Structure 1
Amino acid sequence: MQVRQCVLTSVDTLTPLSSLLSQFNADLILVFADQPFLVHQPLQKLLRQSGALVAGCSTAGEIAGMKVLDHQAVITAIKFSHSQVSLVSTSITDMPDSHDGAARLAAKLESQDLRAVLVLATGLNINGSGLISGLQQHLPEKTLIFGGLAGDYAQFSETFVLGPDGPHNHCALAIGFYGEKLHITNVAAGGWQPFGPYRKVTRASENILYELDGQPALDIYKSYLGEYAQQLPSSGLLFPLEMVNEARESCGLVRTILDIDEQEGSLTLAGDVMTNGYLRLMFASNEGLTGGAEMAARLAAEQHPHALTKNCLILLISCVGRKVIMGDLVEDEIDSVVQLNPAPAVTGFYSYGEIGAHKESGQCVFHNQTMTVSLITEVS
């Protein structure tokens, strides 16, 4: 496996990409970029002419090497020696279609020799939990599923996925990885801390939270936020919710607020909530978030037999909420990962939700507010 990468700082300067594609015959090109790049026709034409499979999404920040970039495009080209990739996509019409849309994706993928699936999907009007359950029900049992949801710099306005037929704002795509020479490890970790009382979930439906302790969920949530309540839903990135089971034990999952309904007093979360459990607010410090990223990196390296080979690609997908909190120090969490897993190529983005393994069960789940570390190598 060989990897090449370039960064575009402007849609008017495509020379770095032209140079890369003229010298490197890629099988797969990953594009993580600000929206203007994804809808730029000359860039799309250049990518199509490469002959490679092209997949990507809009972001809330791009990752290249040890840098976190804003309003740029990170393009990573991959050439496999012994493995194959396929790319399929489908429209996601609305949030209830998340499960069925994922089932449509899975049905399009060839299941024989399928090792892993990288999923990129719209960051709005989607239920991440439904997306994962639809994939899990229709993919081979041991298939590794990882990926994330597109972002738009915490504007919560419009996100894009770049697939086989261009960019779309209501779309999900899946990249299938095939071959026994391929090794992919994925680990997610957070670093957030809970605070305040447990609040009983008294009415919820999938990812819509209506009541806590018999009161409108939005009222309860606003009572904690104070002046930040005026900035919802974007301020919800600063105060996610920890899911707790009936025994008041942490489930190891966090939920971020995607939207609010003032009339119903409800919160729309990025993933499903346990209807018989509890929720607690969470907060974070820079030290805690960096520690969470370091934990994910360490576990990924321990689980990957070829983590330090020269051809290892690191794919990082981290939550926009972490970026908002860390501010100018956000590169600290990237640094903590790369120092433990030095690799010639590091790519990724800040997202509206992360797809990856639960650190205890190992099963794929939908995360919020985590750093997910994926190590991808191919051995001879």
Structure 2
Amino acid sequence: MKVAQIILHEQDDIERALATWNPTEVGSPAPHLVLVFSAIPLLQRIAAPLMARFPTALRLGCSTAGEISAEGVGDDSCVLTALRFESADGHALQASTPLADMADSEAAGRRLAAQLPQAGLRAVLVLGQGVAVNGSALIAGMTQLLGQNVTITGGLAGDGAAFKETWVLNQSGVHNNQLVCVGLYGEDLVFAHGSFGGWAPFGPARRVTRCEGNVLFELDGEPALDVYKRYLGDYARDLPASGLLFPFAMLGRDHNEIGLIRTILGVDEAVGSLTLAGDIDPTGYLKLMHASTDALVSGAESAAQAAAAAAEVAGPQGQEKSRGLALLVSCVGRKLVMGGRVEEEIEAVADVFGRSAVLAGFYSNGEISPFTGNLECKLHNQTMTITYLGERR
């Protein structure tokens, strides 16, 4: 696989930059796939020039809460990563669908999956608008048609930490109500993943006593928002953004952690509810979480090690077995916690992959990946998820 990358900024002449960008690493005639992760103003500017520059390539991407590239973490930038398959049967197919509202999430997942021929399908990369969506239901809809043996990874678009409006790029342009995915095909495709958090639970476990899908109404018989605000104290003034600092750990009926974290997308003061990024177990328990920068960096390193090991990719001191793309999707909440040290989690990932992968990705409103060592896809919050995409030599 050939991979090339360019980073654009607000002051750049987009048309000129694209016209003069010659991704020689990708070769000719053109890339098969161009991934775009961008701040909203640049994403809206890039669609038409990108179509003109690479009319035959599949173009997909989304708005972010921070852009990840081989140079680290950026804000107010646009990261373009071009890929070209080298194997004879390597190829990709794109699918898109509008999302009517949050209740449409599962059906939208089925519509996406139905557009992808299943013969030879190895994996799917999905990007979705990141506010009015139930990520768990989206994944469930896709899995109903694709089954458990097709790996799904990706993420939900960001808009800083505003949670107001996010955008997705597909072949027709930029939209605020779209889901897009690309199916990946080829016998020589190498597709591996890793996911890890680094958050620690605190306080008592609270029983879910009323919820509908991803809307939490009551904990221990009290309005969920009231319970949550008591824990947040002064941070409650800044909801929903401050909710990124205090996500929920989902617990089973036996109070044991199941490995899923849920973050806050919105609050309803009138009814006292919390809208979470994914479904909640109506018979389970929730416990608040917090994190330190060191723990989050360690979690990112663990995710990278899992993905690299699954792909059999060597680190800086080892023999490189393949060169490809390491796609990093990390939660905006992690970025807020780490602040000025956010580069450290990207550096930890880069140290694991060495020269064997080009890094690209974004800070998101939700991460889509199986658990490490598993095939069943889940919606994650507050995690670093890493997808390695390459080809056997």
- TM-score, L = length of structure 1: 0.97
1:359 aligns with 2:359: no
Match of 1:313 among 312, 325, 342: 325
Question: Structure 2: how far apart are the matches of 1:344 and 1:304?
Answer: 11
Residues 320-335 of structure 1 correspond to what in structure 2 (within 5 A)? 320-335=332-347
Cα distance, 1:16–1:365 mapped onto 2, change above 3 Å:
same
Provide structure 2 residue ranges, at least 5 long, that are not aligned to the other structure: 315-319
Question: Structure 1: how far apart are the matches of 2:341 and 2:324?
Answer: 26
Residue correspondences, number: 379
Specify the alignment match of 1:377 in structure 2: 390
Question: Structure 2: how far apart are the matches of 1:155 and 1:54?
Answer: 26
Q: Secondary structure, in 3 states, of the residue corresponding to 1:252?
A: strand
Specify the alignment match of 1:115 in structure 2: 122
Shift of 1:310: 5.0
C-alpha contact (below 8 Å) 1:218/1:267 kept by paired residues: yes
Cα distance, 1:92–1:11 mapped onto 2, change above 3 Å:
farther
Specify the alignment match of 1:44 in structure 2: 48
Amino acid at match of 1:277: G
Match of 2:34 among 24, 29, 35: 29
Per-residue deviation, residues 301-333 of structure 1 (Å, max 9, x unmatched):
221134544522111000000000000100110
Specify the alignment match of 2:302 in structure 1: 295
Per-residue deviation, residues 155-208 of structure 1 (Å, max 9, x unmatched):
111100000110010110110000110011011100000000010000011100
Residues 1-380 of structure 1 correspond to what in structure 2 (within 5 A)? 1-10=1-10, 12-14=12-14, 15-21=16-22, 24=27, 25-40=30-45, 43-50=47-54, 51-82=56-87, 83-306=90-313, 308-342=320-354, 343-359=356-372, 361-380=374-393
Question: Structure 1: how far apart are the matches of 2:97 and 2:379?
Answer: 19
Question: Structure 2: how far apart are the matches of 1:20 and 1:375?
Answer: 25
Cα distance, 1:11–1:89 mapped onto 2, change above 3 Å:
farther
Shift of 1:18: 2.2
Provide structure 1 residue ranges, at least 5 long, that are not aligned to the other structure: none
Shift of 1:45: 2.8
Amino acid at match of 2:195: A
C-alpha contact (below 8 Å) 1:8/1:17 kept by paired residues: no
Per-residue deviation, residues 325-358 of structure 1 (Å, max 9, x unmatched):
0001001101111101113511000000000012
C-alpha contact (below 8 Å) 1:188/1:373 kept by paired residues: yes
- TM-score, L = length of structure 2: 0.94
Question: Structure 2: how far apart are the matches of 1:22 and 1:303?
Answer: 28
Specify the alignment match of 2:317 in structure 1: none
Q: Secondary structure, in 3 states, of the residue corresponding to 1:157?
A: coil
RMSD, matched Cα: 1.4
C-alpha contact (below 8 Å) 1:11/1:36 kept by paired residues: no
Question: Structure 2: how far apart are the matches of 1:222 and 1:325?
Answer: 19
**Percent identity, aligned pairs only?**
47
Shift of 1:369: 0.2
